């Protein structure tokens, strides 16, 4: 079941009615938990067993980690949790990838090994709920917060259907306390939630699927060399598609939760208005960025062990972040390229830095790298837009590796973008398609720049009610007219 379907609209309407009935809070939570399992079972019912296993194991292991005084036993319990969660993730998501590379390595050293190709189905959202449960057990090991008292609350935290499949990646302190006391949306929260849901669906159905997906698929699916204009239009189309698709899901998820009276963390803050790459990671997939910072980058040493180790930690974090997105070396290259960008940015920042850098724990922003070039760059209205545009164009280059299935396809497209892929084939895109992509991307960049310091709800609250109503109605009409072209969300495969 996906947000952009009539089935979900009917499902959500029923949940809203049940959640507002005059019944006990425990009964409402049970309703939400059952609804979350139904939502997930719409993909593949047997995979609910994985959710149950992960939930039950981490609930009891987390409690034991918090109460166990013996240090060696606590280590053993943490290892059990890590093996259970990461082992499940590695098998389902990376099993085929690991086997494929093992075969290549074996053949390279002269061992003739050709096993049967594994037929492993990837459970929807496994990367997201694995990170959700992992942060709980790690926090229990470090005693950062108290264990969740109720298995019902913990189960609902893990499986709450708005964030279950594609985030935002939530942590227990962000959501569990909301389950401990009765929550029901106020009239304003309901209106805000429905507005965010509508906006999220508009971003996905109209912008990502209807206006950009066809151009992106055409260019990235082409087996031959491309003209320079076609290549750039295809990459720009994907840069918009991936944002509207993923940010659309996050916006819809936050809106759905708000309609029920719950608040989920922000996941996107107009990332294409970023001035520099540290700023980009403050704004793109924020909950993953903060997770990687707190549970990988800082435990590796962060920036506390000298410049060389900091550079190493940055690259390790970005490489693993890339691999998290998919079982393909192109995703690793995508993460590595972002790591190189951050290296260059950090080197420039360090060369201008005259005051000591503060320790990681004192940095409030959810970024992977704390040393940012952004403070040394022109601010908004003083040339900052040119730096933001330069950042965006370099990020577009990384999307080539993210979207391409193979390195050969990525290099072919990069050469086409540079005008060096000769001979190039005939133009693939029509003038209308080029103009469509150009208009959509221009409007996207402009909206990111002018909205970079505010939010949708703040902006909406300042509009006259009649103007907001007109805009809302237009969004709904466009969603209905475009519904037939809608596809599944891209991040479901991660």
Q: Which string of DSSP letters, residue by residue, matches 444-460?
A: HHHHHHHHTTS-HHHHH
Distance CA 146, CA 123 (A): 30
For 108, 216, 259, 401, the CA distances from 239, given in Å and listed in that order, are 37, 9, 30, 12
Tell me the pLDDT tens digit for each residue of 191-213: 999 999 999 999 999 999 999 99
Per the CB < 8 A criterion, the answer to whether 324 and 127 are in contact is yes
Q: Is the pLDDT of residue 298 over 70?
A: yes
Catalytic residue among 19, 163, 325, 448: 325
Give residues with Cβ within 8 angstroms of 305, minimum separation 6.
none
Q: Is the pLDDT of residue 223 over 70?
A: yes
Q: Is the pLDDT of residue 250 over 80?
A: yes
Q: What pLDDT score does 162 carry?
A: 92
Give the mean model confidence (pLDDT) for residues 103-112.
82
Tell me the pLDDT tens digit for each residue of 416-446: 999 887 677 788 999 999 999 999 999 999 9
Count of H-run helices and E-run strands, the chain: 21, 0
Q: Would you list the domain boundaries of the chain?
A: 12-180, 271-484
Top pLDDT among 124 and 390 is at 390
Top pLDDT among 490 and 83 is at 83
Tell me the pLDDT tens digit for each residue of 303-349: 888 888 999 999 999 999 999 988 899 999 999 999 999 999 988 88
Burial environment of residue 486 by CB neighbours within 10 A (0 to 12, 13 to 18, 19 or more): buried
Tell me the pLDDT tens digit for each residue of 266-281: 999 999 999 999 999 9
What angle do helix axes 71-108 and 48-67 make, rounded to 10 degrees?
140
119: helix, strand or coil: coil
Q: What pLDDT score does 311 carry?
A: 92
Nearest to 325 by CA among 243, 220, 402, 395: 402
pLDDT band, residue 350 (cuts 50/70/90) = confident
Give the mean model confidence (pLDDT) for residues 346-361.
65
pLDDT band, residue 484 (cuts 50/70/90) = low
Q: What pLDDT score does 84 carry?
A: 86
Query: Which range (94-103, 230-239, 385-394) has the least confidence?
Result: 94-103
Task: Please give the angle made by the CA atoms of 466, 468 and 474, to the nearest 5 degrees.
Answer: 105
Nearest to 270 by CA among 392, 168, 169: 392
Nearest to 398 by CA among 440, 342, 464: 342
Top pLDDT among 113 and 297 is at 297
298: helix, strand or coil: helix
Q: Is the pLDDT of residue 370 over 50?
A: no
Length reported for the chain: 494
pLDDT band, residue 127 (cuts 50/70/90) = confident
Top pLDDT among 109 and 61 is at 61
The residue whose two tokens read 């260019």 is: 219
Distance CA 360, CA 355 (A): 15
Nearest to 241 by CA among 494, 489, 493: 489
Q: What pLDDT score does 354 carry?
A: 57
Q: What pLDDT score does 488 carry?
A: 66
Give residues with Cβ within 8 angstroms of 25, minimum separation 6.
181, 182
Give the mean model confidence (pLDDT) for residues 125-141.
89
Q: What pLDDT score does 384 carry?
A: 83
Distance CA 314, CA 339 (A): 6
Distance CA 392, CA 400 (A): 13
- Mark whether 285 is an active-site residue: no
> Can you say whether the dihedral through the CA atoms of 343, 348, 350, 353 is positive or negative?
negative
pLDDT band, residue 353 (cuts 50/70/90) = low
In the Cβ-directed half-sphere of 340, how many Cα atoms lie within 13 Å? 10
Q: Is the pLDDT of residue 383 over 70?
A: no
Give the mean model confidence (pLDDT) for residues 231-245.
96
Q: What pLDDT score does 364 carry?
A: 33
Give the mean model confidence (pLDDT) for residues 1-29.
90
Residue 431: φ, ψ to 5°: -60, -40
């Amino acid at each position: 079941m996906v947000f952009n379907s009539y089935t979900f609209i009917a499902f959500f309407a029923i949940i809203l009615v049940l959640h507002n009935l005059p019944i006990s809070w425990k009964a409402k939570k049970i309703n939400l938990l059952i609804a979350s399992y139904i939502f997930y079972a719409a993909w593949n019912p047997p995979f609910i067993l994985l959710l149950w296993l992960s939930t039950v194991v981490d609930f009891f292991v987390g409690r034991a980690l918090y109460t166990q005084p013996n240090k060696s036993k606590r280590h053993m319990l943490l290892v059990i949790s890590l093996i259970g969660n990461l082992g499940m993730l590695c098998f389902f998501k990376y099993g085929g990838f690991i086997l494929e590379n093992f075969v290549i390595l074996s053949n390279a050293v002269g061992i003739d090994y050709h096993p049967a190709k594994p037929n492993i189905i990837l459970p929807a959202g496994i990367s997201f709920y694995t990170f959700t449960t992992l942060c709980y057990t790690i926090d229990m090991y470090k005693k950062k917060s108290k264990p969740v008292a109720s298995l019902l609350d913990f189960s609902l935290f893990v499986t709450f259907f708005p964030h279950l499949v594609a985030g935002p990646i939530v942590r227990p302190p962000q959501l569990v306390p909301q389950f401990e006391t009765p929550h029901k949306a106020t009239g304003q929260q309901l209106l805000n939630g429905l507005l965010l849901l509508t906006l999220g669906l508009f971003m996905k159905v109209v912008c990502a699927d209807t206006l950009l997906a066809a151009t992106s698929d055409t260019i990235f699916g082409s087996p031959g060399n491309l003209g320079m204009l076609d290549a750039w239009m295809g990459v720009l189309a994907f840069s918009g598609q991936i944002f509207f698709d993923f940010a659309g899901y996050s916006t819809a998820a936050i809106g759905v939760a708000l309609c029920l009276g719950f608040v989920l963390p922000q996941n996107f803050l107009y990332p294409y208005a970023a001035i520099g790459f540290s700023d980009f990671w403050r704004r793109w997939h924020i909950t993953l960025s903060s997770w990687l910072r707190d549970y990988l980058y800082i435990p590796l040493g962060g920036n506390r062990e000298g410049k060389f180790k900091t550079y190493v930690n940055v690259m390790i974090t970005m490489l693993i972040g890339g691999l998290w997105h998919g079982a393909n070396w192109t995703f690793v290259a995508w993460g590595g390229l972002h790591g190189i960008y951050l290296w260059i940015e950090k080197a420039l920042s360090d060369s201008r830095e005259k005051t000591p850098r503060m320790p990681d724990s004192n940095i409030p922003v959810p970024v992977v790298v704390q040393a940012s070039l952004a403070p040394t760059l022109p601010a908004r209205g003083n040339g900052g837009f040119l730096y933001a545009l330069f950042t965006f164009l370099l990020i577009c280059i990384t999307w080539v590796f993210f979207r391409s299935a193979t390195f050969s396809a990525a290099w072919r497209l990069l050469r086409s973008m540079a005008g060096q892929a000769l001979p190039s084939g005939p133009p693939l895109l029509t003038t209308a398609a080029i103009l469509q992509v150009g208009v959509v991307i221009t409007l996207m960049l402009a909206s990111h720049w002018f909205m970079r310091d505010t939010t949708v709800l703040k902006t909406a609250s300042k509009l006259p009610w009649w103007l907001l109503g007109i805009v809302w109605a237009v969004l709904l009409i466009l969603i209905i007219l475009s519904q037939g072209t809608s596809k599944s969300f891209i991040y479901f495969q991660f």
